[in-house]
Amino acid sequence: MKYIELNNGISMPILGYGVYQVPDYEECKNSVLEALKAGYRSIDTAQAYNNEKAVGDAIKESGIPREELFITTKLWVSVYGYDKAKKAFADSMEKLQLEYLDLYLLHQPFNDIYGSWRALESLYKEGKTRAIGVSNFHPDRLVDLISFNEIKPALNQIETNVFYQREEDHEVMEEYGVQHESWAPFAEGNGDFF
């Protein structure tokens, strides 16, 4: 597996397995187990996907040492705000059955972004997550967040594929030292991709 280095020195597998649109417990758990057997070590979930428990159970059942895995989850906009974000993180960790998270993301640039980001900064400083970042932030929102906070995002996870290449977004991320991570790299099968 190849790795990239985030702006805080943390290594992250370049290829990850996402479980968006897999809310069924058994299907999600089995798909994560199969992905881990196939060699994936980065697993991406989110509170809004309603499958963190299945992911956590698959991780536990896999028997793979925790330090070999890179686990990402995301904070949903309905629980943005400093206190709500801290509680939501604890809820996610309970479902995932983890002692620490590798990457915690703000899922979208809406609601109380700043209170939520301060909560993520606090979790990072406490060692509860190895890196923090954002998802679905366009360049203006990303630069605004960076400009008015202590810790800049390690990563911005955005839709990127052959039909939606996001060159301007990528240039801004490079300029600010934020790793570009793609979601839907196969365009979710649209446009006769396969």
* SS3 of the chain: helix, strand, coil, percent, to 5: 45, 20, 35
| Cβ atoms of residues 139 and 168 within 8 Å | yes
Determine which one of 17, 49, 104, 124 is catalytic: 49
49 given a catalytic annotation:
yes
Measured CA to CA, the distance from residue 42 to residue 113 in angstroms comes to 26
| Cβ atoms of residues 184 and 161 within 8 Å | yes
| Cβ atoms of residues 105 and 157 within 8 Å | yes
Which residues make Cβ contacts (< 8 Å) with residue 38, sequence separation at least 6? none
Cα-flanking dihedrals φ and ψ of residue 128, to 5°? Answer: -85, -20
Active site residues: 49
